């Protein structure tokens, strides 16, 4: 049940499987990003694509992660998560190992509604409220 970081060179092979999984996450808030923008961000290396593979099933989950460097920490920001079983503890543990290997000191994601409770069950805590204004 390995977690794989998809090198952008191999994106054409994996994208037809990963894109529908990520699209389900996009559909929760379609004003934020399109699947085409996600693909471009992965292809250009701005965002990392991770996929989860289950034995005898193939790829069942996909996650996009970008790193944000602050003066005192490097944060792995999870942009999108989609698929079956991607929020299982052992999958999250593998993702945290991968994030640490890339120098992350913390992981974060944005969430609202029922997703907040799901992430809290995974050990995450609500630390900030995002305030926004259209410019």
pLDDT, tens only, 84-134:
866 778 888 999 999 999 999 999 987 777 677 777 777 778 777 777 777
What's the whole-number average pLDDT of the chain? 89
pLDDT at site 106: 93
pLDDT at site 112: 72
Angle of CA points 7, 38, 128, to nearest 5°: 105
pLDDT at site 114: 67
First to last CA, the chain: 44
Percent of the chain with pLDDT over 70: 97
pLDDT at site 69: 97
Angle of CA points 10, 11, 17, to nearest 5°: 115
111 near 119, Cβ under 8 Å?
yes
């Amino acid at each position: 049940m390995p977690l794989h970081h998809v090198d952008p060179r191999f994106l054409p092979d994996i994208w037809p499987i990963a894109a529908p999984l990520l699209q389900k996450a996009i559909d929760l808030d379609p004003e934020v990003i399109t699947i085409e923008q996600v693909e471009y961000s992965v292809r250009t290396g701005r965002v990392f694509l991770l996929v989860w593979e289950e034995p005898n099933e193939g790829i069942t989950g996909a996650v996009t992660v970008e790193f944000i460097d602050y003066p005192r920490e490097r944060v792995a920001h999870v942009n999108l998560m989609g698929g079956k079983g991607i929020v299982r503890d052992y999958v999250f543990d593998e993702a945290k190992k991968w994030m640490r290997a890339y120098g992350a000191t913390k992981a974060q994601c944005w969430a609202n509604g029922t997703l907040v409770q799901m992430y809290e069950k995974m050990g995450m805590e609500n630390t900030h409220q995002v305030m926004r204004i259209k410019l």
